[in-house]
Amino acid sequence: MTGAVAADQLRSIIERIERLEEEKAALAEDIKQVYAEAKANGYDVKTLRRVVRLRKMDSHDRSEQEALLELYLEALGMAADKAMPVI
């Protein structure tokens, strides 16, 4: 009986994972469509993706990444003009 219960539980877990994977795929498609809509309206998708990624970060992590980017660009002789902030 333990084997039957374990098999039922395993089947249930697998089916739940499969449903969630389907939902994830549907959400990914929805996101793709929103980016396509943005592109059709003249927005740069690459920049939008970066903005979304930056908004997920807390301000300290974002500032740290910006400082490191600036440092690396300076080391390579590619420093941005001080009037223009590096994101």
Q: What is the pLDDT of residue 85?
A: 56
SS (H, E, C) 12-53: HHHHHHHHHHHHHHHHHHHHHHHHHHHHHCCCCHHHHHHHHH
pLDDT in tens, 7-40: 999 999 999 999 999 999 999 999 999 999 999 9
**One domain, residues 48 and 63:** no
Verify that 27 and 52 share a domain, yes or no: yes
For the whole model, what pTM was predicted? 0.70
Q: What share of the chain in percent tops pLDDT 90?
A: 84
| Domain co-membership, 8 together with 45 | yes
pLDDT of residue 82: 58
Domain span at residue 72 reads 59-87
* Count of structural domains, the chain: 2
List Cα–Cα distances, 27 to 2, 3, 33, 37, in angstroms: 37, 36, 10, 15
Distance CA(48)–CA(39), nearest Å, equals: 10
